[in-house]
Amino acid sequence: MDIEIGSNLYRNADGTVEIEGVPQIALTLKGAAGPLLVNFVQFDQVGRITAKVVHSSMAFNERRAHELSTSPTGVLLKNLESGKVVLHVELKEGGRVSFRQGNILTVKGHLLEISPTEWRIEKHRLSGQESDLQGKSVSIG
């Protein structure tokens, strides 16, 4: 599976995105045109789970703080209090999965920010890179 995170392209990934060493996002395609199934865990600043998405459905939503919108080709998770997009994932033509926007808290309480041009977390920032992962996970941070 090819995954775009910001302007970075990860070819031949296994569908898992590890953030600071923890598998936090898992992507599955049922076919070349979808549906796209997303598994995702959002943490708070001290590492507690605040939201959990399983097979593109909300499984846990502490204090109903998040809103999930889905389609066969995308998942959008927003924080209702701040209005910020936590995770926006879309299936593009050719089976490529694209993360163009996100504000994801890691298990360590760090913020991973994804924009169309880059991803950044703490002092790490990556923009415009292309990698062939040869069946391994995407690793950020």
pLDDT tens figures, 68-95: 999 999 999 999 999 999 999 999 988 8
The residue range of the domain holding 85 is 3-131
pTM: 0.93
139 located within any domain: no
87 located within any domain: yes
Task: State how many domains the chain has.
Answer: 1
Residue 30: which pLDDT band, with cuts at 50, 70 and 90? confident
Residue 39: which pLDDT band, with cuts at 50, 70 and 90? very high
85 located within any domain: yes
* Three-state helix/strand/coil letters over 24-88: EEEEEECCCCCCEEEEEEEECCCCCEEEEEECCEEEEEHHHCEEEEEECCEEEEEECCCCCEEEE
